[in-house]
Structure 1
Amino acid sequence: MNALYTDKIETALKSFIADHPGMQTRDQAIIAILENWFTNHGYLPPQQEGLRPEDLDASNDD
């Protein structure tokens, strides 16, 4: 992996962490991103634990 690509990934990870208040570490961000990608592409079954906090808004209220 070249330095430019690594810098872009690190910048994206920092932005992801900043956008997800419960996310505190780089490892947590990488795990969340991979779980999301694997689930959305059929490699992991969808979890049945409800919506993540960042996905909640007034439209979810019943």
Structure 2
Amino acid sequence: MTERYAEKIETALKSFITDHPGTLTREQAISTILENWFASHGYLPPQQEGLRPEELDASNDD
């Protein structure tokens, strides 16, 4: 992995942690990202927790 690529990943990871206050550690953030990616690509069953607050908008109202 190139240094520039690693820097971009680290910046994105820090942004993710900032945007998800319940994520306390770097390892938790990486785990959450991987779990979401694996679930959205069919490698894990989808979570049944519902939507995160940042995913809610008027189109979600039933």
The code of the aligned residue for 1:22 comes to G
CA contact (8 A) 1:17 1:29 kept: yes
Unmatched segments (≥5 aa) in structure 1:
none
Query: Partner of 1:22 in structure 2?
Result: 22
TM-score normalised by L of structure 1: 0.78
TM superposition shift of 1:24: 1.3
The code of the aligned residue for 1:3 comes to E
The code of the aligned residue for 1:12 comes to A
Q: Over residues 4-46 of structure 1, what are the superposed CA-to-partner deviations in whole Å (9 max), with x where a residue is unaligned?
A: 1110000000000000011111111111101101101100001
CA contact (8 A) 1:17 1:26 kept: yes
TM-score normalised by L of structure 2: 0.78
Number of residue pairs the alignment of both structures matches = 61
Higher relative contact order (CA 8 A, sep 6+): 1
CA contact (8 A) 1:17 1:24 kept: yes
Query: Partner of 1:11 in structure 2?
Result: 11
Q: Could you tell me how far apart the structure 2 residues matched to 1:61 and 1:54 are? A: 14
The code of the aligned residue for 1:33 comes to I
CA RMSD of aligned residues (A): 1.8
Unmatched segments (≥5 aa) in structure 2:
none
